[in-house]
Amino acid sequence: MCDGGAVERSCIRPTTMAHEGSVERKCADDQRRRRAPLFAQLHLKINSGLRTRTAFRGCRSGMGKSSHLLFASLLTDTMSSKNVTLHNGVLMPLVGYGTWQAEGELLRSGLKKALEVGYRHIDTAFVYGNEDIVGDVLKQWFDSGSGKRDDVFVTTKLAMCYHRRSDVERSLKESLGKLKLDHVDLFLVHVPMALKFSDGKTLDMVDDHCVPDNVDFLETWKGMEDVLKKGMTRAIGLSNFNIGQIQKVLDNCTIKPHNLQVECHLYWPQFELHEFCKKHNISFTAYSPIGSPGRRGHRLASIGVDFSKQHEPLDDPLVKNVAIKHGKSPAHVLMRWLMQRDIIVIPKSTSPAHIVANFQLFDFQLSDAEMKSLNEVKIRERIFPFCWARNHPDFPFEK
């Protein structure tokens, strides 16, 4: 089993070592938090604010028997804040800008707009093929004096063909070069399945099925721990893993995952998986929080899927009624429902109007009755069943 406290302490960058005393004081404060009532803990988090970005890196990640009271994604400001706290103290913005299927000038202008609006969390991936554009926009933003590196939280994901321990650092180095950064804030294993790519960019496929590579994801996780220790990322996590696979990582790791990113929306609410992550202080990110309306144009997503038979959360009658009541859009309701479950959302859009609207999530709150009704919606449907990977021995979903 992993605790990770001593290891994570060794990951403090030289620039933070001068704050050793404040780190120890923060750790002492953390001990008091664990003994305090939940409301008092929350108050302390609010007072700490964004200054916890580096100071908490030295605190132990092991949280003791009362860790369930300090769920990793405890909001730092009772939903008026835009941050959650990972189990190592790193702050992660609650709303991010997703970039899957975004490219070229649309991504460039969209990301500029997102930063202008106030987004401070950007989600990308090696396989998206757009890290270079994200890097260009960020460099321009930094150089213009509009913001500093510490103002933005950048997530990227491991290349699916770089699952060997020795290749994990290579993947992140390539991503950092494109992003023009010396570190990312969160680095995720994109899928538990090691895959073969013919040229490092194109997924090998035979009869619409992937070609597995023989690498255990536990080996991959060791590589993830390596890059965290080297300061190349501030946190590490998983994506598209199931409970059994996460448990296997927990049983064999030195540093436990800080975050899990999976498909999660009204029709695929992930209640059991979310509760499992809460129990283990793993923060939770929802991709496709409104149902991914743009998925229909993606070839891989369409393999084995009849889009005409899938339901759209945005069209749900209950969602529409709740939206009218609050003077909001269905998209607002769908994301707010997730946020009130302490789930991070990363909506994607290149439309300036939608980019602005997707960030207007902090000025209303769903009632307990509305949350309960949304929780009890009958439709249960995964949008991305990964049919192209059903032949893989580490396929994460039910076959």
Query: Active-site residues: which are they?
Result: 128
Token pair 């059991």: residue: 272
Tokens of 112: 């500029």
Are the C-beta atoms of 43 and 49 separated by less than 8 Å? no
β-strand partners of 174: none
Are the C-beta atoms of 381 and 297 separated by less than 8 Å? no
Nearest-Å Rg of the Cα atoms of the chain is 20
The closest alpha carbon to 283, from 83, 97, 2, belongs to: 83
Tokens of 130: 């757009």
Contacts of 274 (CB under 8 A, 6+ apart): 264, 284, 341, 343
**Can you say whether the dihedral through the CA atoms of 140, 145, 146, 148 is positive or negative?**
positive
β-strand partners of 268: 265
Give the Cα separation of 284 and 273 in Å (integer): 9
Cβ-in-10-Å burial (0-12, 13-18, 19+) of 364 comes to middle
Strands (E) in the chain, as ranges, are 83-85, 91-93, 97-98, 121-123, 153-157, 186-189, 205-206, 209-210, 236-239, 259-263, 283-287, 344-345
Give the Cα separation of 241 and 254 in Å (integer): 18
The closest alpha carbon to 87, from 253, 336, 288, belongs to: 253
3-state secondary structure of 166: helix
